[in-house]
Amino acid sequence: MPSNPIPVIAPPADQRCNSPVARISVSMPEDLLAELDGMVSARGFESRSQAISEMINQQLLEHKRQLGDEVMVGTITLLYDRSVRGLQKELADLQCDHIDEVISSLHVHLMGQQMMEVILVQGPAAKLQSIANRMIALRGVVTGRLQLMAATMPPLHPLSPKLATAPTALTKA
């Protein structure tokens, strides 16, 4: 009987390409294998291994998201009715209230009074979920979704730490 492999948490996606590959064996019912093969073909995966690795990555990401304290990057995507009075201001105010987590946003005018907004965010998963929930619950928001990835962005500006302590034109050195 083969020994059980030691469970290992996958490294960040940017490190996986250069990581050594470990082989495992998976047993499953034939009908499930047939469905897997259909999905592999339909989605254009090169192999079952690639498809299964992607599924495992998604489950690990969901697990990290549920833990809540992992710093992650993602987007909040909203579809809303721009004719609802005060909604755009409320959304902008929420973004300003969470300036440490909100990196950028883009809105697109759609047909009629509909607007789509995509907000790039980074921070602890639980906090990002809380921000998304507050936005999605606003009157006039038709639907919304938080999509997270187990990655982080580098500092936005190389001088950021120095700027916090450097004197400005408004303060005397």
pLDDT per residue over 27-86, tens digit each?
Answer: 989 999 999 999 999 999 999 999 999 888 888 877 776 766 778 899 999 999 999 999
Burial of 172 by CB count in 10 Å (0-12 exposed, 13-18 middle, 19+ buried)? exposed
pLDDT per residue over 95-147, tens digit each?
Answer: 999 999 999 999 999 999 999 999 999 998 889 999 999 999 999 999 999 99
Task: Identify the CATH number of the domain defined by range 71-149.
Answer: 3.30.70.1150
Domain ranges of the chain: 27-67, 71-149
Check whether 19 has a pLDDT greater than 80: no
87 with 81: CB under 8 angstroms? yes
> How confident is the model at residue 90, as a pLDDT?
97
Distance, CA of 103 to CA of 105 (rounded, Å) = 7
pTM of the shown model? 0.63
* Contacts of 88 by beta carbon, 8 Å cutoff, 6+ apart: 82, 115
